Amino acid sequence: MEDVATASTNSIYRQIEFYGFCVISFSAKSLLLIGLPYREWPVNTVYTCLLLLFFYCFFRFRQSMRAPVFVLVCLAAAVAVDILGNKFGLYGHPFGPLRDYDEFAHFAGSGFSAVAAFWLLRAATRRMGFKLSNGLLGFLSTSVAFTYCGWYEILELWDEYFWSGFERIHWWYDTPNDLFYDFLGVIAFIAAAALLFAMQERFAKQPIKELVAVGLRNLVNSMPADLLVFFVTTTAFGLCCWFEIFKLFDQRWFGRIHFVGNRDSAIYLQWELAACVVLGVVVVTVSKLARSRKPSAA
């Protein structure tokens, strides 16, 4: 009994520790993004290196998970794209076939970040004993990465309102246009990451321990409630971000007015995110309660 109690206590402790890591890393990355274009590049570089070191050390020494080098490189590259654009004055000028370097920065920066999201979701769920189907893994990692893109647009709004005082949203189409190139980058990079990991797994010599296969049908039964809330929230908010993109094209192509002020889309996003969090909690709570009552009803 004492051994069982100790194991249970350790499990709860590790869960709380992981939640703490998530809160700290999410807050620290958000602080980096606030005022990122207006800080000196050495400051942003040092800040980024410290975040990467924290990320690597936690998973290496607390979770016994070794992050691949290319994942760390991708995280660094996601910030470097913005730092280099500011250092060399690339913003506000065409970049290749794109109208502005900003579009490339959102495509590449979000894409590089999405690779880390894909690896983290894949590694964490396998550590929990689950093997997500390729389609589900790609869909959920896309939703997670795209949600963070929407969060960045909200941070730009709050940066203007509360902190830096600099104008970060310059035109009515700025936010939804950023989201469009974010999404393109997320899709492209996650497709490449999925192919790379599939090839790596096929040619790996070491045996893989047995994992519970998880697809869309058994997702609710298999996953813990807190992770399900996260998935539902990110999926719903990803759809809201796409709705903002649709409004952009509708206004450009058909002249129906959805955005008037520069901040309109970002203002909508912050309330949509709050609604999606509530929706995630309600949906998962109701589904879990409904399933828990089925055996007793029988």
Render pLDDT for 31-45 as a digit per residue (tens, 0 to 9): 888 887 788 888 888
Which residues have C-beta within 8 Å of that of residue 118, sequence separation ≥ 6? 137, 138, 141, 145, 190, 193, 194, 197
Give residue-wise pLDDT tens across range 83-128.
888 888 888 899 989 999 999 999 999 999 999 999 989 888 888 7
pLDDT band at 156 (very low <50, low <70, confident <90, very high): very high
Both tokens assigned to 159: 């940066």
Residue 219's closest CA among 228, 210, 208?
Answer: 228
* CB proximity list for 269: less than 8 A, separation 6 or greater: 150, 153, 154, 157, 175, 240, 241, 244
pLDDT > 90 fraction of the chain, expressed in percent and rounded: 43
Distance CA(264)–CA(277), nearest Å, equals 21
Higher-confidence position of 238 and 36:
238
Residue 11 has pLDDT above 80, yes or no: no
pLDDT at residue number 274: 97
**pLDDT reading at 3 higher than 50:** no
pLDDT, position 18: 79
Write out pLDDT tens, residues 256-292. Answer: 999 999 999 999 999 999 999 999 999 988 887 877 7
Question: pLDDT value at position 149?
Answer: 95
pLDDT attached to residue 64: 78
